Amino acid sequence: MTKGVLLFAYNNEAVDYVKQAIYNAKLIKQHLDIPVVIVTDSVSYLEKTYPWYKKYVDSVIFRETEQTQFQHRQFYAGEHYSTKAEWKNVNRASAYDLTPFDTTIVIDTDYLINNANFLKVLDQPGDLFMFKESYDISYKRNVKGFDKVSDETVDFWWATVLVFKKTERVKRLFDLVHCIKQSYHYFRTLYRIPFKLYRNDYAFSIALHILNGYQRTNWPMQLPGKMLYSSPEDDLITIKDGKYTFVLGQRSRPDKVNIVTVENANIHVMNKLHLNDLIDKEFENEQ
């Protein structure tokens, strides 16, 4: 049984997701030591800008973005700066067809791997593992939107990272996610999602609700632990030896300023602009 990681990397004018993917591939090799495949529409850019990428990436798959419509969103660098850019985040439904592995870990490029926890589930009998539970690095902020798809509807499942095996049930899930993506306005209205942007989290959550007969079941199984994430408004100030140091948002109020260091933990860094800047420093000696 082959096992490996699939990373989707589609650059826009604000964020170099290809760079993030290579950095995460480096971490994956260090902590999981399994093959890594990058899916991107920027193969020539990858090869020209990061000619040493093969140290960490086993292969690259060219795939055009499957945008059904132009999507734009704000990308933050802490609470004092943001920029609007195209968001190419709709290819996740193709993971089942694209992966060369029997068991695949799909990971967002900004979900950084810093331990070997996911190795625990690769040989378990389940065919799908995802995160339902999550927690913010501050432990104090009242973050809404990660419990339910909307206030009145179904459970929220994170598509930021998932582990799946090639079974007929999992194939039906990915096929249904693709259908939801194609008719997203209908499903967004049906499930009372207030945001217009297509999100993989919403599409997978809706698909799971449908395939589970519109009720809660024990499928998918949950990944070990909870998904740790930072806010887009948190400043990522240093990366050093697996330690990520953040200054939490609301710096304009001194009584709310807080510094948090995360060590040896997998983490979803939502401040993608600061992450990109710090990866440049991590790559200074690569060749």
Res 239 pLDDT > 80 = yes
Q: Which two tokens stand for residue 143?
A: 């973050």
Summarize pLDDT for 250-264 with one digit per residue, the tens: 654 556 668 899 999
- State the Cα–Cα distance between residues 133 and 225, nearest whole angstrom: 8
**Percent of the chain at pLDDT above 70?**
93
Provide the pLDDT for residue 11.
Answer: 95
Cβ contacts of residue 245 below 8 Å, gap of 6+? 236, 237, 238, 239, 259, 260, 261, 262
Angle 168-182/200-211 helices, nearest 10 degrees? 120
* Alpha-carbon Rg for the chain in angstroms: 18
Provide the pLDDT for residue 66.
Answer: 76
173, containing H or E segment: helix 168-182
Cα 215 to its chain centre, rounded Å, is: 26
List the beta bridge partners of residue 112: 267
Provide the pLDDT for residue 142.
Answer: 62
Summarize pLDDT for 105-152 with one digit per residue, the tens: 999 999 999 999 999 999 899 999 999 989 899 877 766 668 788 767
pTM: 0.94
Determine whether domain 3-228 maps to CATH 3.40.1280. no
Domain boundaries, the chain: 3-228
Provide the pLDDT for residue 143.
Answer: 66
Res 210 pLDDT > 90 = yes
